[in-house]
């Protein structure tokens, strides 16, 4: 960022301005100048406005080594952990950010939006005691679909693949704007989404329905729309997993996936969605634990200067924050926590996500700074980028909790779910089922079965416990063993690949197992709506749609 390269005199001037006011300001079309509220968000102020990078550079110039190192560390906090203990972690390590993990529904009292908000308010109170006095980055993995950290008390969007099947970027942007507003209301200001991976390898369940599809151009359009929607609500978007996790079936949590495509193929197939997200001004990019043989063989991209600096920064032109994928994953644990932290910084990451040993990671960075292994300029650069991001999210006023689960947001989610429903085999202009219906589901999917039963009855369909036409639901990760012979309708609620092996006369993909997806499915089964979705991935032996071309 340019603040890193400004003169000492310029930094001193801006620092003096900072010392003269408690205003947390940055230039924004939404709010030219703002003052922090108790929740860490903002209200209007008449104080002068400074560029976020200038403010960040000025704050960084006054920081101790411990404060600088704290900016680049982002440990995890479980949503069910006591708030005061989590706040103590922020103060002790002088953190610039945290990531919320776990599912809110796992919390002892049910995991309401109010509980998440109470936790984030406590974290922000701790952040205000630190010298920077800037709201903390509070991140989570709210991709929707099967990677969703906060499941209770918030509208649930369909999976990315459902958005791809709908093919409506206008609906994508609106849905993500509503989701961003709900995240902001509970205190989340960074979302590690959208997933920019292009599914190239059929059956890739590592990414699966987290991807918008297999067409780079179509995925690029969806990624850009999601970025615009999120960031218009004041939640920083993150395109991931750079430079693309869609070609491998190896899970990077447990091993290092190898990407063997040519550099040309990487550029034409994997990179377009990342370029689109960056062109849409995504504030973060997440580096993937991926062995990109065409660029830096044997080295995870998350630790590769050639990938993160030469490609991402210099060639593509990204200027925001680069965050590692979790450092507690197997490819990153080939080195001790302290060494991994230093290597990740030297490679070009600005924010180190979930180091397996936070204390060791901090000490490793401090020692490397002291002995010269980690140039101070690299740490200043990273800390300035992180603080710039912190200032960028300040002007967006935090919505009240009463804005969570608004009907308009649920309707946005339902519009996508409806547009995504795809008939890969079966009728298009008449009810799919007639007479009585029986609903079954693969193991662990009883909630979806209940939702569908309720929705079918609401559409005038008689649902019975025995006999009738059988509608069978298959969920995430379920294979052919979960297929049921004799089912009149088989429904894939995740990637549609399993439908290839079904024997049902009617095969339908919803790509998601949310309540609104089941409601949309019921409308199609009852003939009250037409399935207009088109599979964003190829299923051998089946068309992309039997109804939409």
pLDDT tens-place values along the chain, 549 residues long? 434 333 333 433 333 333 333 333 333 333 333 334 434 454 433 344 679 999 999 999 999 999 999 999 999 998 877 777 899 999 999 999 999 997 544 443 335 788 899 999 999 999 999 988 899 999 999 999 989 988 888 999 999 999 999 999 999 999 999 999 999 999 999 999 999 999 988 767 789 999 999 999 999 999 999 999 999 999 999 999 999 999 888 889 989 999 999 999 999 999 999 999 999 999 999 999 999 999 999 999 999 999 999 999 999 999 999 999 999 999 999 999 999 999 999 999 999 999 999 999 999 999 999 999 999 999 999 999 999 999 999 999 999 999 999 999 999 999 999 999 999 999 998 999 999 999 999 999 999 999 999 999 999 999 999 999 999 999 988 888 899 999 999 999 999 999 999 999 999 999 999 999 999 999 999 999 999 999 999 999 999 999 987
Residue 289 a catalytic site member: no
Q: How far apart are CA 117 and CA 121, in angstroms?
A: 6
Q: Look-up: residue for tokens 């600088």?
A: 68
Beta bridge partners of 322: 285
Contact 542, 424 (CB under 8 A): yes
Contact 284, 322 (CB under 8 A): yes
253, 281, 367, 446: the active-site residue: 253
Structure tokens, 433: 């089922």
Structure tokens, 269: 């197939």
Structure tokens, 535: 């599979």
- The 8-class DSSP code of residue 158 comes to P
67, 325, 350, 478: the active-site residue: 325
DSSP sequence for 33-91: SEEE-TTS-EEE--SPP--HHHHHHHHHHT--HHHHHHHTEE-EEETTS-HHHHHHHHH
What domains are there in the chain, each with its CATH number?
75-137 (no CATH), 421-525 (3.40.50)
Half-sphere exposure of 343 (CA within 13 A, CB side): 18
Q: How far apart are CA 455 and CA 200, in angstroms?
A: 35
């Amino acid at each position: 960022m340019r603040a890193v390269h400004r003169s000492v005199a310029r930094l001193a001037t801006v620092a003096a301005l900072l010392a003269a006011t408690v205003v947390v300001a940055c230039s924004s079309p939404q709010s030219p100048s703002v003052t922090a509220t108790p929740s860490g968000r903002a209200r209007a102020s008449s104080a002068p406005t400074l560029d976020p990078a200038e403010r960040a550079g000025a704050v960084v110039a006054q920081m101790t080594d411990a404060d600088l190192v704290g900016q680049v560390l982002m440990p995890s906090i479980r949503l069910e952990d006591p708030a005061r203990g989590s706040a103590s972690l922020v103060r002790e390590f002088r953190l610039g950010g945290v990531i919320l993990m776990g599912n809110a529904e796992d919390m002892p009292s049910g995991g309401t939006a109010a509980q998440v908000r109470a936790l984030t308010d406590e974290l922000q109170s701790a952040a205000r005691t630190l010298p920077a006095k800037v709201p903390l980055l509070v991140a989570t993995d709210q991709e929707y679909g099967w990677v969703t950290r906060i499941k209770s008390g918030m509208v649930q969007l369909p999976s990315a693949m459902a958005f791809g099947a709908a093919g409506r970027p206008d609906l994508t942007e609106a849905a993500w704007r509503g989701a961003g507003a709900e995240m902001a209301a509970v205190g989340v200001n960074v979302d590690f989404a959208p997933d920019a991976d292009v599914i190239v390898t059929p059956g890739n369940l590592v990414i699966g329905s987290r991807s918008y599809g297999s067409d780079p151009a179509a995925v690029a359009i969806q990624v850009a729309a999601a970025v615009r929607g999120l960031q218009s609500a004041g939640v920083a978007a993150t395109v991931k997993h750079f430079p693309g996790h869609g070609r491998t079936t190896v899970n990077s949590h447990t091993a290092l996936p190898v990407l063997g495509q040519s550099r040309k193929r990487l550029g034409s197939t994997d990179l377009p969605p990342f370029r689109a997200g960056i062109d849409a001004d995504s504030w973060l990019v997440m580096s993937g634990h991926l062995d990109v043989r065409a660029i830096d063989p044997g080295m995870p991209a998350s630790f590769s200067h050639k990938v993160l600096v030469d490609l991402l920064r210099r060639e593509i032109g990204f200027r925001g924050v680069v965050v590692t994928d979790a450092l507690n994953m197997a490819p990153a644990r080939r080195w001790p926590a302290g060494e991994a932290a230093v290597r990740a910084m030297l490679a070009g990451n600005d924010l180190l996500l979930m180091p397996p040993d936070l204390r060791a990671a901090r000490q490793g960075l401090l020692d490397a700074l002291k002995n010269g292994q980690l140039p101070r300029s690299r740490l200043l650069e990273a800390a300035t980028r992180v603080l710039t991001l912190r200032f960028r999210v300040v002007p967006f006023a935090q919505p009240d909790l009463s804005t969570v689960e608004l009907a308009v947001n649920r309707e946005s989610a339902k519009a996508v779910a409806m547009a995504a429903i795809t008939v890969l085999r079966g009728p298009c202009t008449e009810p799919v089922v007639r007479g009585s219906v029986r609903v079954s589901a693969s193991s662990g999917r009883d909630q979806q079965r209940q939702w569908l039963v309720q929705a079918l009855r609401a559409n005038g369909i008689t649902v019975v416990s025995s006999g009738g036409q059988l509608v069978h639901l298959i969920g995430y990760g379920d294979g052919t063993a979960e297929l049921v012979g004799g089912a009149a309708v088989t429904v894939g609620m995740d990637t549609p690949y399993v439908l290839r092996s079904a024997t049902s006369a009617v095969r339908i993909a919803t790509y998601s197992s949310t309540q609104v997806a089941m409601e949309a499915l019921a409308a199609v089964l009852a003939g009250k709506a037409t399935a207009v979705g088109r599979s964003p991935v190829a299923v051998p032996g089946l068309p992309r749609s039997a109804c939409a071309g």
